[in-house]
Structure 1
Amino acid sequence: MAPYESDDATAAARDEDLPTGRRKAARYVVPVAVVGVAAATIGLVPALADSGDPDLPKITAQQLIDKIAKSDVQRLSGTVKVSTDLGLPDLGGLESGLVSGAARGEGDGSSADPQSKLTELVSGTHTLRVAADGPDRQKLSLLESGSEYSLVHDGKDVWGYDSKSNEVYHSTGAETGGRHRADQPPATPKGFADEALKAVDDTTSVTVDGTARVAGRDAYKLLIKPRQSGTTVGAISIAVDARTGLPLKFTLTPRSGGAAVLDAGFTQVSFAAPAASTFDFTPPKGAKVTEEKKGAEEKKGAEAPEHTREHATKGGEDLAKGMNGATVLGKGWTSVASFDTGGGAGLPSGGRGGGQGGALGGFLGSLGDQVSGKFGKGTVFSTRLVNALITDDGKVYAGAVTKDALVKAANTGK
C-alpha cells in the first residue's frame, strides 16, 4: 500500500478483481434480495467500548494500517455482540425468515447450513462466542434463546450444528477449510477491517481518531470516510488493539445519521490458546446429518461465513463480486452494481386480473418508491445502507448509494 502523505491522505491498494459467482435473480423477492445484499455489504459482530480514553504514543494513519497488516494473532477466544440496524420495514420477523429461507434454497436444505443460518444476523442484536487456534481450527457459536448454533472448522472438516432443530451440516476438503480466514473464525472485526482497507483509495479520507478502551484493552481508532457525495456510507471506525494490532471493534455509520448500521466488536477477549476440546465435534445421537453435495465445494465451499464478513464497504464493486454477469457503473463509494434478471420484466403486475402475482406485486411495490427516468420506470427498495432499483424491464441496480444516484446510474446504464 502506498504511504500516506498525511493523516488525511489516501491509500492506494484496492482489489480490482471482480470474481463472479452465482446469479441471484429472484425478481419476485426484491425486498428480501435487498436484505440479503445489505447483509453481504455489512458483515456481522459488535462491541462495547470501556469508558476512558487511554494515553498512547502518537501514531499516523499509515503506521496504524501497517500495524493491522503485520498483526499475527492466531490464537484467541472471546465474546462478541452484533447489533445491526438497517432500517428495514417491520414485518414481524418475517424478513429474517425469508432471507434465511432464500439462502436455504441455494444451499442443501439443512437448517444447519451456515449459508442460511448466519443470514439471521442481518437484524437485531446477537451474542456470539468465537475461538481460534491457528489456520486450521476455528469455532463460532451463535447464542439464541434456549438454543445455540455452532460452526466448527477442524482441519479438513467443517461442521454446522443447530441445536434447535437437532440438525448437522458437514463438509470436507482442504478447499472448504481454506475458505475460512486463515487465522480467525468467520465474523470478526478483523475480517471487516481487511475489507474496509481494501476499499481505501483516492475517494477516501483516512485518519487516526484518538484512542479507546475495548474489551478491557487499549486501542487506537482508525477513521475511514468517503470523500464522495451520493454514498449512503457516513464513516467506518475501527478500534485497533495497541499491542497486537488486531481490530477489536468495527462500526459503520450511515451518512443520514442516527444509530450505527453495524456496531461490531469484542466484549471480552483472551489471546491464550483455547482448549483443544473446543474444536471437537461429534454429531449428537439422533441428529439429522446433511453432507455437502458432491461438487458443491467448487460452487460455494464455506461461502456463507466468508460472505457474512466480507463486503463491509463500497456498494457496487463488492456487490458485483457475488452476481454473475454484473457490471460496475461509477467509481469508489458511489459505484453501482448492475445486472439483468433475465426475465424481461420487473415486479409482477398489480393490475386487475393479476391474480396472486398481482397481489404480490402490489405488496412488494408498497415497500418501495416508484421512480422514472431515461431508463423507463421502476421501484427503489431502500435500507439505511444499501439501496436497490429494479426496473420494469427486469434490470437491477444496487449499491451503498442514494436513490438519486441509483436513478442516475440507471439512466447512464440504459
Structure 2
Amino acid sequence: MSVLRSRPVLRWLVPAAAAVTVIGGGAAIGTFAAQAEPSLPPRSAAQLLVDIQTARLEGLSGTVVQRADLGLPPLAGLAAGGNDLLALATGTHTLRVWHSGPDRQRVALVDTLGERNIVRDGRDLWTYDSRTKSATHRTLSDSGEEQVPPSLPATPKEAADAALAAIDPSTEVSVGRSATVAGRDAYELVLKPRDEASLIDQIRVAVDAEEYVPLRFEVFADAADRPAFEVAFTQIDYRRPDADQFRFNPPPGTTVTEQSTGDKPDRDGSGPGRPSADEPGHPGAGDVTSVGEGWTTVVVAELDTDEVPKPEAGDAGPGGVVDAPALIGGLPEVSGDWGKGRLFSTKLVNVLLTDDGRLLAGAVTPERLYQVAKG
C-alpha cells in the first residue's frame, strides 16, 4: 500500500512540509524567462500591500506553471510516483485556471498521462481524474466554508495570500525590481525573515502593475540564487470566463462517488466518509501543536508509536511506490540529548521523526528541531 495511504507519519512529510514552507514564510529546473525591466512609477511596500488586499477581481483565466526542486531525498522521489501531492513537490507542472467570482472556480492539472480537475459551480464541487475515469461530487453549504483548499497553491494569488497573512514583525518587507510576467508589467514585493534560523532566504511576489493581482510567487532557500519553489502565470486574461467553463458533466464511463457535506475531499487516500489519519478520532491520531512564531515556527505532532513504521531497508513496492519502512530506513539517523530519530531534509524544510513517536517539521535548521525536541 502507498506510504501516503497507509501511515500517518509519511503523509505528514511533504504535504505538511510544503504548507509550512509557503505559510511560514537547490536550484529550480530553470526559471521563468527573464525580460527587460519595465519602467514603473515608484510604489512603496505599504502601498503594494494595500493594493493587493483591495484589488477587485471580477474574473480571469490563464495558464500557470509550477516548478519545484526542494532537494527531496531519492526515496521520496520514488514515492512521488504514487501520490499526487508528493509529485507536485517535484518537477514542473502546468495548470489551467478559471475564476469567476467567489463561487465559480476551476483548476485543471495537465500532464502527459491525463488531466485532473477541481471545479466549483455555486454549491456544486467536482473533482475528476481522467486517468482513472473517476469523479467525486459534493453539495456545499450556502457558505461553502467546508471546502478544503489544495495542499499546494494552484495560483500565485493563493500562495501570496498565505504568505502575506503571515507577515509580522519578524518579516522585513521591501520593493524589489520591476518585472514583466505573462506579458504584464509588474512590481515585485520582497519578504525576508529576520530570524537566521529560517531556511527561507526570501519570498518574491510579482504584482500586476495595473490590476494588482499576484502574477508570480517565488521562494528562495538560504544562499540560493534560483527559486526552490515558484508558481507563475505564463498567460493571463482578465475577462470573466463564460459560465459554461464551470458546468461539469462526467464523461461517459466515469465512476461518480457522491460525498456528503461532512466529508472531506479525497485528497490523501481516505475514501468518502472516512476520516484522514491526522484528524481526531482516527486510530493513531495525536495532538498537533506549534512552537515558536513566524518563519521559525515548528509543527509538532504526537504520533501513536504503534502507527510509526519501523525502519527497514527495501526497494519500491507494487507500482513503484516506496513502502513506509523503506522510506524511513533510507533517511539518515540522528541523535542528541533530545533522543534518537530520523531526519528528512529539503532545501526549504526539515522534518524530524523521533523514535518515541514525535514528528517535528518546519522551514528551519535541524538544530532548531533538535532544540524543540529537547523541550
TM range (shorter): 0.7 to 0.9
Alignment counterpart, residue 169 of structure 1, candidates 117, 136, 143: 136
1:385 is paired with a residue of what secondary structure? coil
Once the 2 structures are TM-superposed, how far is the Cα of residue 90 of structure 1 from its aligned partner?
2.9
1-side partners of 2:371 and 2:350: how far apart? Answer: 13
Q: 1:125 aligns with which of 72, 86, 92?
A: 92
Quote the Cα distance in structure 2 between the aligned partners of 1:238 and 1:207: 11
Match of 1:40 in 2: 19
Q: Output aligned runs, 1:111-122, within 5 Å.
A: 117=84, 120-122=87-89
Find the counterpart in structure 2 of residue 77 from structure 1.
Answer: 61
Q: Could you tell me how far 1:66 is from its partner in structure 2?
A: 0.5
1:406 match: secondary structure: helix
**Greater helix share, 1 or 2?**
1
Paired AA for residue 13 in structure 2? V
The residue type paired with residue 162 of structure 1 is: D
Q: TM-score, normalised by structure 2?
A: 0.81
1:51 to 35, 57, 60: 35
Matched, 1:268 2:268: no
Contact 1:47 1:82 in 2 (8 A): no
SS in 2 for 1:207: strand
Change (3 A) 1:389 1:26: farther
User: CA–CA distance in 2 between the matches of 1:346 and 1:166?
Assistant: 33
Residue 378 of structure 1 corresponds to 341
Cα distance between partner residues in 2 of 1:143 and 1:27: 27
Where does 1:226-237 land on structure 2 (aligned, <5 Å)?
Answer: 226-237=193-204
Deviation at 1:381, TM superposition (A): 1.1
* Larger displacement relative to structure 2 (339-348 or 390-399): 339-348
CA contact (8 A) 2:189 2:204 kept: yes
Which of the residues 183, 195, 211 maps onto 2:162? 195
Partner Cα distance (1:376, 1:401) in 2:
19
How much does 1:345 deviate?
Answer: 8.3
Unaligned runs of 5+ in 2: 24-29, 269-284, 314-321
Q: TM-score, normalised by structure 1?
A: 0.74
- 1:288-307 equivalences under 5 Å are 288-293=255-260, 295-296=262-263, 300=264
Aligned residues: 340
The question of 1:340 aligning with 2:340 is answered no
Instruction: Sort the Cα spacing of 1:180 and 1:339 in 2 relative to 1 into closer, same or farther, 3 A.
Output: closer
Partner of 1:388: 351
**Counterparts of 1:269 and 1:246, CA distance in 2:** 11
Unpaired stretches in structure 1, ≥5 consecutive residues: 1-23, 101-116, 305-322, 352-358
Indicate the RMSD between aligned Cα atoms, in angstroms: 3.2
Q: CA deviation at 1:37?
A: 2.0
Cα displacement string for residues 220-275 of structure 1 (whole angstroms, at most 9, x for unaligned residues): 00000111011111110000011111111000011142542211110000111112
Is the CA contact (8 Å cut-off) linking 1:167 and 1:287 kept in structure 2? Answer: yes
Counterparts of 1:83-232 in structure 2, within 5 Å, are 83-91=67-75, 94-98=78-82, 100=83, 117=84, 120-174=87-141, 177-178=144-145, 187-232=154-199
